[in-house]
Structure 1
């Protein structure tokens, strides 16, 4: 397996052979051991080192090396994959996940054939999964840079209600991206002239009822025009509330529902497949490089499956 992984990496990282080989070791060890532990990788790493400790030190130095920038390594790999996957509207999901209750992983994933493939990931020391737009925009700017490089313009971003922020939606509007974002019940809907219509929580729907509001604004800064879809499912008390930059319909909920694939991806990494929280790393930069290894493994496995 190592040779197949190395060949794939060297094709994209042709000017960085040493990094490609070290990364191939780690990806191979991760996939075959299904554990994010350096000692667990060693039986699957075939190097010319005489002692296993030498190989472990090299891998550890790689994870701790401040000169290793994940986006510069992962960018060529994921852009090559996006070229191979053909032309279509690119559906992205934005979400966060906590690691060790101390670090927040911010991620934008590509949703493709039922899988959430990491596109850009960033780890910061932060005690909550709720992060400010100031933290989100640099991550989204990296995404935009990759997509602009590929000439991809048709983009739809999906996000949960924690990301319902007018500054963020304004940034997406400037980029020309579409969005489907869940919104909070406390938001006020207003007519284009600013006249208050109602708070979302004041709208009571019967089970299976759907109501759409087109060309309205969200207060307090009267952001809009936007379009809102509300629905109450038959089997639950919680109301679905989604804002979109495009006219809404029942189909809006199916489009937003694709977002849950990124949560399944987090589950794979944390407790399902790789168990990232079993690692001994406890600083944001080293964790971000470990997340790079997991992202490369996911990308290669999905590409191989395709």
Structure 2
């Protein structure tokens, strides 16, 4: 009973944020959802059995609580994308940056399910925007698999803000590039494989691997064609070897490329930190026993809501100067996600204030994470390139 009383503070804070009873088919669906969010934040694990002590229920038996959660996850009347829409719209409504960077990627779970997700890059982490679960044994997907998902995202993003999509080599789909530039008004920075074919006026077709670079050397090609068999263009490229580890990077863009194109694409790696939050560093979703596409999609709704809430709480904690109440580092050593999560758990014991509104305003981080001065100095480097730029004319 004492546990449920403490959890009620978090439940009430979440309810103040998510309280949209008219959007839910039944008020009990909202109630169960909120208690499941409370449970995942408290336990840090996607395990219905572990959640049972955190959830009040009229039923006397633990099995009653478990069945209640299972029914929610398999309930076809719960349209999680319609329910999530007003939450993410409100969270991003006060975005102040001129540009918002989106990252598109896939994750494979249990060699059976593929999660395709689009996120907003935010201060070293990622904010879930929209997702789709496929029963698919590969992390490679076609444009048709995620076209509708991206079209949904158009209506979720703040108005009047430049949108730049960042994606890895598995998303070099010409249909995606066409849709972004001709239909959605988005821009893109997508990584290319070394064996990609490009065409230059007066030079013909060649592969990126035909070019040889030393560390810190790069080329910018403007107005070229991509893909030999079914070509697409004009596009703009920047490619070369970085000055840190010599890794080959090639980025295709709809806008003329510069050194900044490398830096922009580098923001994509923030979604990989988000993968850690979903797994070993956070919700431990890999331990889930759920094996159903609809149920997993609803599960990610629970995780998305929890992620938004604890991240916004972390931003609030840092902005109010209370970070060191939960972060042992002299400098900020934990992510906003982790700081917010630790604050929420501690607040249930200490009576600290919990936010009742979730909002994000900027990707600019006034207090960048730094676990230690030594590690920070080792990892800090400047992207220094000797770049040559070539302009071509498309036929």
Settle same-fold status: TM greater than 0.5: yes
Q: For residues 299 and 195 of structure 1, do their structure 2 counterparts lie closer, same or farther at Cα, with a shift above 3 Å needed?
A: same
Decide which of 45, 65, 87 is 1:77's aligned counterpart: 87
Does the CA contact (< 8 Å) of 2:172 and 2:190 recur in 1? yes
Decide which of 151, 159, 162 is 1:154's aligned counterpart: 162
C-alpha separation between the residues in 2 aligned to 1:119 and 1:101? 24
Does the CA contact (< 8 Å) of 2:132 and 2:146 recur in 1? no
Deviations 1:172-226 (A, max 9, x none): 11211010000011222213x5851531110101111121111212132331111
Aligned residues: CA RMSD: 1.8
C-alpha separation between the residues in 1 aligned to 2:23 and 2:137? 38
| Structure 2 SS opposite 1:131 | coil
C-alpha separation between the residues in 1 aligned to 2:146 and 2:119? 14
Aligned match of 2:132: 122
Does the CA contact (< 8 Å) of 2:97 and 2:161 recur in 1? no
Query: Runs of 5+ in structure 2 lacking a partner?
Result: 1-9, 316-395
2:176 paired with 1:171: no
Deviation of 1:13 (Å): 4.8
Decide which of 289, 293, 305 is 1:280's aligned counterpart: 289
Aligned match of 1:92: 102
Instruction: Show the 5 A alignment for 1:32-111.
Output: 32-86=42-96, 88-111=98-121
Does the CA contact (< 8 Å) of 2:23 and 2:83 recur in 1? no
Q: For residues 52 and 273 of structure 1, do their structure 2 counterparts lie closer, same or farther at Cα, with a shift above 3 Å needed?
A: same
2:181 paired with 1:196: no
C-alpha separation between the residues in 1 aligned to 2:76 and 2:22? 21
Query: Runs of 5+ in structure 1 lacking a partner?
Result: none
C-alpha separation between the residues in 2 aligned to 1:91 and 1:112? 8
How many residue pairs are counted as aligned between the two chains? Answer: 302
Deviations 1:59-82 (A, max 9, x none): 110001122222011111111101
Does the CA contact (< 8 Å) of 2:127 and 2:308 recur in 1? yes
| Structure 1 SS opposite 2:245 | coil
Deviation of 1:300 (Å): 0.9
2:258 paired with 1:258: no
C-alpha separation between the residues in 2 aligned to 1:60 and 1:152? 41
Deviation of 1:273 (Å): 1.1
C-alpha separation between the residues in 2 aligned to 1:197 and 1:63? 51
C-alpha separation between the residues in 1 aligned to 2:202 and 2:93? 44
Aligned match of 1:292: 301
| Structure 1 SS opposite 2:165 | strand
| Structure 1 SS opposite 2:294 | helix
C-alpha separation between the residues in 2 aligned to 1:64 and 1:95? 25
| Structure 1 SS opposite 2:51 | helix
TM-score scaled by length of structure 2: 0.73
C-alpha separation between the residues in 2 aligned to 1:90 and 1:168? 18
Deviation of 1:289 (Å): 0.8
Does the CA contact (< 8 Å) of 1:93 and 1:110 recur in 2? yes
TM-score scaled by length of structure 1: 0.93
